[in-house]
Structure 1
């Protein structure tokens, strides 16, 4: 029988830590039950493990007690890392033993999956260096700043690379669990779990849920000023040649600094702030798509729709239908 280890981090946990651990048990128990009915035996033994006897969560409202200590597990097949309180200064020190154990198990052939902010623990192991990684879109900037060698993909719901899996944020961890069920069991078992647990199947992007707040977690004051300039001129087509000259910086150097600080080219950044403004209008007003388009500086409907779909995964009309029921029947 194969083995799944759900790790229980040391230190302060979050409510999401409890939710993800409990839900992981439930989804894989459902998969095991279905597999046993068809194959006569369970495929996995599911076990929680940690380096301490217990972890307090949410100021002691919950207490998590691992079933076993990690020292008792010589080999496992799949490690699940739940969300962690990565802002806690003591977190890394308190979890050194657990992180070292994860590295050792990966080297022995185990695969590793992180849920939401569990990516911070996984990144601290170095196993994500040079690899793609997803996390909650709201945590992406902090993850990039703390672990610059990790290729953070904030729009991805799931990444799968060299036996390492990561997912986006909040309850999208359920989609990664279904993905893992299909990978380790089969498609039919994943469909069954999807129906029993009522989890959407084959969802692969968190883009529709992203709120772009601008990447400001950097220390380049020139770039911050450029960002403010772009954000204040949503209805204009900003000339980046002109903008770089305002700061007495050559265009190539301007682009280089902007990309280093934000992860986007100036053009990409302008697109994202324009589309974020358009999303808010589509959510809260009865304006037509054309009116919204003109407000954010686009005059070509086709170009606007292409950029909107690229950044949200859906058309402007589809977006409005999902988030603004009152306006969804209006003509474009």
Structure 2
């Protein structure tokens, strides 16, 4: 028998991640018992707070007192709804409890932005982790020593699990079901809860955020120039001269300000524009390619797949409104 604790932090949390994880694990255990096996899991929702409510106040959970749990085999940390620094400060007692459980042999998994609390325990040091694609900048600012496994839905290393975010926490729970039970139980749960069991990357869902939250005015000017000239061939040598800076210094400042090289930034801006065209328009892939400044079909497709994980045709088939409604 294994004991699972879904912790309830003292802050605003996504109660859906708590309830969703609880429902799937309970259903997996029931299916296991129906197949003639003894019960495998005891699942508790516990914390140092008497109650947690959803952000709109309609749902509430009354967790058990976590101080009564001496030992658990798996700790699940739910998603936190913003205010991450304050959440870390308010939950030091819970973070100590999680550290102690891991030291005593428990495994620990974070769902979506629960990764901020997991990182604050220190258990992610020297490990890669997943976090929602639109939380990476804030995560890197708070925890600069932790490597983000960009694009990954799930990471698993030495009993520590992290999840890329939003409702992909369901994929993490299925992953844990397969480890706790077996593949057949995970597949059963994927069918019952209608979860795509094969999702492994966030890339198709990522929306590129133009990285302008920095203080380098020269680089902001360069970013604006790139965004306004997507359909032309940009020479970064000439752009550096135009901005009165050496190419080497330009590259160094660009990376420091945005986290990307100028070429990487250009590619990501072009592909984001191409994605929007493929989602909403009736243009051919060739027309979209030309609109964003690519003239070589193979290069465009290779860069598109590298960034999104899908070919332009697959992306259009998945997200284009006209095709979806056919």
Paired position in structure 1 for 2:183? 187
Stretch deviating more after TM superposition (291-300 or 230-239): 230-239
> Residues 274 and 289 of structure 2 are in contact (CA less than 8 Å); yes or no, is this contact kept in structure 1?
yes
The alignment status of 1:47 with 2:44, answered yes or no, reads yes
- State which of 153, 156, 164 in structure 2 corresponds to 1:160: 156
Instruction: Describe how 1:154-303 pairs up with structure 2 within 5 A.
Output: 154-303=150-299
Structure 2: stretches of 5+ with no match in the other structure? none
**Residue aligned with 1:6, SS:** strand
Paired position in structure 2 for 1:113? 109
Distance 1:317 1:206 in 2: 18
> Residues 142 and 217 of structure 1 are in contact (CA less than 8 Å); yes or no, is this contact kept in structure 2?
no
- State which of 61, 78, 84 in structure 2 corresponds to 1:82: 78
The alignment status of 1:319 with 2:315, answered yes or no, reads yes
Distance 2:117 2:7 in 1: 11
Cα–Cα, structure 1 residues 187 and 6, in superposed 2: closer, same or farther, change >3 Å?
same
Q: Output one character per residue of 1:179-214: Cα deviation in whole Å (capped at 9) or x when no partner.
A: 111122111111111111111112101111111122
Distance 1:223 1:162 in 2: 40
> Residues 320 and 328 of structure 1 are in contact (CA less than 8 Å); yes or no, is this contact kept in structure 2?
no
Paired position in structure 1 for 2:65? 68
RMSD of aligned alpha carbons: 2.1
Q: CA deviation at 1:62?
A: 3.0
Q: CA deviation at 1:325?
A: 4.3
Paired position in structure 2 for 1:36? 33
Distance 1:89 1:146 in 2: 8
**Residue aligned with 2:76, SS:** strand
**Residue aligned with 1:303, SS:** helix
Q: Output one character per residue of 1:144-183: Cα deviation in whole Å (capped at 9) or x when no partner.
A: 2222112123411111222211112221111111111112
The alignment status of 1:309 with 2:305, answered yes or no, reads yes
Q: CA deviation at 1:217?
A: 3.3
Q: CA deviation at 1:74?
A: 2.0
- TM-score w.r.t. the length of structure 1 is 0.91
Paired position in structure 2 for 1:12? 12
- TM-score w.r.t. the length of structure 2 is 0.93
> Residues 12 and 82 of structure 2 are in contact (CA less than 8 Å); yes or no, is this contact kept in structure 1?
no
Q: CA deviation at 1:328?
A: 7.9
